[in-house]
Structure 1
């Protein structure tokens, strides 16, 4: 028995839509690492564009570190304490020839911790270092031992975690981030391509293309009847 012309086309369209929408909801893998942040004049945190070994902050600066699982800088969790220099360095007086750097160290939550390890409590410290000292040097003065990998990536602060460095872990839905917050916005204020949990623009474009092709196929089939 011959199949009526055009009937297979809608079925193919539906199948293609299911594949595309499924791809849009797939969860990308994340990475477990220490992210580096800079205080924005008491207004909040800004993701650092350089590593802590390259940044040489001025006296009175606030630098933050957060251990978490994130996909990229747009998705990274911020330190959960405010970048308040006055509070962090209140008990550390100025000293001639040295600068003071406030440090916020947030090891993250239980969901961020590697298997078999428990995240320490967040803490702050006021480092008093030489005027030309980097953030890495300030951190080393108050939070040893530090651990780096062969590419100078910061792997551990105060010995946490005991092992691993930026390893890939299974992805999680956006709504299930370890700190319960929405993904951090990108530098231009926009969220990631699928930061709202819906299909990405690429997926929607693909859906539109499939629909157009499907309708065209149906029309051609009807003309042949």
Structure 2
């Protein structure tokens, strides 16, 4: 006959369950993300700008922001992905291709310390380049200077930002408030969601229960030894 779990075993089981259920502290990054424009919408690019070779009539987007390095959570360019609106007035030339580019320098809240976006609204341009040109080469035609790190990661467009490249930022770190934005829960420490930082109320209660079970186990073991 199998015995019932002892109090110490129950305590360990509860603790492991609580630790497994508690969310891990993820990180976001401050970086230039790269996007493909398709059907008027943005899709997170599956290749880097140095390897992607867009076809004539393509739309490519770049967005600087603090966001997660994932398609579902990265910040998209804030301008529409429309080729006609950007390159419609640029005539086609034989032996060249046209690539519509959207460069979004992002928000002041995402800027590195001591810097600010060169302009508030996204910049659009039509690059006319050779048929085998990469997206990075098309970008260089309209938004120099570009800055790369030793791993060929795109770090700066048109000189912005001046330094830094994909540095991690803790998700729990509050972003600076935008001058025109209303105060929000993420900016007001007194109104923050408990899940945004520190242990949750449920986790604290669970840990207290584990401590109580452990104390009971010690008391029970002492009774048995008397």
Note if 1:72 corresponds to 2:53: no
Which residue in the other structure is 1:117 paired with?
Answer: 115
**Separation in 2 of the partners of 1:10 and 1:135?**
58
**Deviation at 1:90?**
2.4
**Separation in 2 of the partners of 1:102 and 1:71?**
25
Which residue in the other structure is 2:210 paired with?
Answer: none
Which residue in the other structure is 1:137 paired with?
Answer: 137
Instruction: Show the 5 A alignment for 1:31-42.
Output: 31-42=29-40
Instruction: Show the 5 A alignment for 1:109-188.
Output: 109-120=107-118, 121=120, 122-172=122-172
**Deviation at 1:143?**
0.2
Note if 1:55 corresponds to 2:84: no
SS in 1 for 2:139: helix
User: How many equivalent pairs are there?
Assistant: 191
**Separation in 1 of the partners of 2:66 and 2:172?**
9
TM-score (norm 2): 0.68
Query: Which of structure 1's runs of 4+ aligned residues deviate more than 2 A?
Result: 6-21
**Deviation at 1:95?**
1.7
Quickly say closer, same or farther: Cα 1:172–1:105, change in 2 above 3 A.
farther
Quickly say closer, same or farther: Cα 1:17–1:152, change in 2 above 3 A.
same
Which residue in the other structure is 2:80 paired with?
Answer: 82
SS in 2 for 1:63: strand
Larger Rg: 2
Which structure would you say has the larger RCO, counting Cα contacts within 8 Å and 6 or more residues apart? Answer: 1
- Structure 1 window deviating more from structure 2 (155-164 vs 10-19): it is 10-19
Instruction: Tell me how large the CA RMSD over aligned residues is.
Output: 4.5
Which structure 1 segments of 5+ residues have no match? 1-5, 179-196, 198-206, 208-213, 215-220
**Separation in 1 of the partners of 2:52 and 2:9?**
59
**Deviation at 1:161?**
0.3
Choose the corresponding residue for 1:106, options 104, 107, 112: 104
**Deviation at 1:96?**
2.0
**Deviation at 1:118?**
0.7
**Separation in 2 of the partners of 1:17 and 1:41?**
45
**Deviation at 1:112?**
1.2
Which residue in the other structure is 2:202 paired with?
Answer: none
TM-score (norm 1): 0.68
